[in-house]
Amino acid sequence: MTDAPILEMLGISKRFGDVQALDHVDLVVGQGEIHALVGENGAGKTTLMNILYGLYRTDTGSIRLRGKDARITSPRDAIALGIGMIHQHFMLVPPLTVAENVVLGDERSGPVLDRRAMERRVRELEEKFRIIAEPSARIEDLPLGIQQRVEILKVLYRGSDLLIFDEPTAVLTPQEVDELFEIVRALRAEGKTLILITHKLREVLAVSDRITVLRDGKNAGQLVTKDTTASEIAQAMVGRELEEALGRGTKVREDIVLEIRGLRAKSDRGADAIKGIDLDVRSGEILGIAGVGGNGQSELAQCILGLRKVAGGVIKVGGIDVAHDDPERTRERGVAYVPEDRRIEGLVLPFTVADNFMLGKQEAAPYARFGILDLTFIAREGDRLAREFDVRPPNARAIVGTLSGGNQQKVVLGRELSAEPKLIVANQPTRGLDIAATEYVHRRLIAQRERGCAVLLISSELDEVRALSDRIAVMFEGRVMATLDARTATEQQLGLLMAGHADALPR
């Protein structure tokens, strides 16, 4: 498989101001292999790939492609050299069709738009690589998994034989990830070379041939997938051994903090999103909600917080029905919320860290007196929480939007957990975070459980749900299929329940 390398990036360095993003990094990729480029957020993976794709110039070192020196100064050069990038944030125009998006910029006809010819060419391409996406469908009507196929088709259409996938599974459901991997393997069988940027070890092990690990802008290991283990890769990425943040709740008590009976609610589009749910979460317990995204989990979280109108049923927190309360009142009952999208729902990005810590508490002492903000207190409290929750840099005057995703999530946690809530509703709390930040979030949630807090953990990462939860409820199409004991539930059982097969239940 790995004869002569197709790509040799040797001694690559890149400096942005004071930050040495890459320090003499080597990346050698064999012809026809799937090469995983792994590392924590900020390790330099994306910078390295942006150099290869012509978005940045390297300060030192050389790039050799198919044995020849390559000068790449713009994405156009890269495309001409057969390098294609499948961006993490899809570069697709939503109101245009699949075919239009594939050929855009390289229409090979014109000036009159011949949709039929366009769609025929795209269909031929799809047949060749066995990637299915209806050419006449509009992008905005397609699920993310199919949209990603269109991104892949765009690159193949331009004749790329070296494909870079930037965090390709970040937005996909587990099924879509499986389908993507089938496509990836099929592309390898067609002789394409693939570079996968990721930090998800399970995926690295499942699909790659070789692995290059980056840490803090330096090479931290070159591994052959079949000869390595998840913990070896993780250690190379993080630079230390990871603590297992596991252990079931030791202090599950009898008192029910959250009690949901017969809950019903509609989605934004007016469809029935929640069709009668019963749940209990006890003090000192983490109840995990597993399920493929979009099966009513987010609506459930919003109902509990008072962010979504409840169509029927009861939501009791500490014995009091909060189903029709607004978020302010619900929060006063001791409910904390880690929302699904921290950048939109969780934080005000242009505000400082200190201001974000204060949000929601700004109306009363000690943060304000007689309607006037106590800026001294807010600054002091901001510094204290930034230290306590390990926000980096530990500067409460930093603008939250400039922080990394992991540090942004720490700000959310700092605000939500510092009030010692009775109930935490955490929706996808580690989405997009790297291993170290994920570990941090997990430790914090477990610490809250040990304190006696009830935690409702919604996650589409089955590993996460299994690792943290005491019990697991599986949601499918607005219903809870079953609630299982996390110690005895198998992955296969859970997977079947997530796909809607109730007969997977233990008898």
Interaction between residue 478 and other proteins (CB under 8 A): no
- In the complex, what is the shortest distance from the CB of residue 46 to other proteins, in angstroms, rounded to a whole number? 12
CA 403 to chain centre: 16
- In the complex, what is the shortest distance from the CB of residue 140 to other proteins, in angstroms, rounded to a whole number? 10
Interaction between residue 17 and other proteins (CB under 8 A): no
- The torsion angle over the Cα atoms of residues 123, 128, 131 and 134, rounded to 10 degrees, is 10
Binding other proteins (rule: CB under 8 A), the pick from 1, 93, 365, 502 is 93
- In the complex, what is the shortest distance from the CB of residue 100 to other proteins, in angstroms, rounded to a whole number? 6
Residue 471: burial class (beta carbons within 10 Å; 0-12, 13-18, 19+) = buried
Binding other proteins (rule: CB under 8 A), the pick from 94, 143, 159, 247 is 94
CB nearer to other proteins: give 163 or 287.
163
Site size toward other proteins, by CB under 8 A: 30
Is the CB of residue 199 less than 8 Å from the CB of residue 41?
yes
- In the complex, what is the shortest distance from the CB of residue 436 to other proteins, in angstroms, rounded to a whole number? 27
- In the complex, what is the shortest distance from the CB of residue 121 to other proteins, in angstroms, rounded to a whole number? 14
- In the complex, what is the shortest distance from the CB of residue 272 to other proteins, in angstroms, rounded to a whole number? 23
Give every CB contact of residue 179 below 8 A, 6+ residues apart in sequence: 145
Binding other proteins (rule: CB under 8 A), the pick from 19, 91, 224, 230 is 91
Residue 236: burial class (beta carbons within 10 Å; 0-12, 13-18, 19+) = buried
DSSP structure string for 240-268: SPPP------S---S-EEEEEEEEEEE-T
The footprint of other proteins on residues 52-71 (CB under 8 A) is: 54-57
Q: Look up residue 70 and give its amino acid.
A: A
Interaction between residue 79 and other proteins (CB under 8 A): yes
DSSP structure string for 168-225: TTTT--HHHHHHHHHHHHHHHHTT-EEEEEE--HHHHHHH-SEEEEEETTEEEEEEEG
The footprint of other proteins on residues 98-117 (CB under 8 A) is: 100-101, 104-107, 109-113
Interaction between residue 270 and other proteins (CB under 8 A): no
Q: Which two tokens stand for residue 143?
A: 């699920």
How would you label 361-392 residue by residue, b for 16+ Cβ within 10 Å and e otherwise? beeeeebbeeeeebeebbbebbbebbeebebe
- In the complex, what is the shortest distance from the CB of residue 307 to other proteins, in angstroms, rounded to a whole number? 22
Q: Per DSSP, what are the bridge partners of residue 287?
A: 456, 471
Q: Which two tokens stand for residue 302?
A: 């919003």
CB nearer to other proteins: give 106 or 182.
106
Site string for other proteins, 140-169 (x = CB under 8 A): --------------x---------------
CB nearer to other proteins: give 50 or 219.
50
- Give me the residues that bind other proteins (CB under 8 A), please: 50, 54-57, 74-76, 79, 85, 87, 90-96, 100-101, 104-107, 109-113, 154
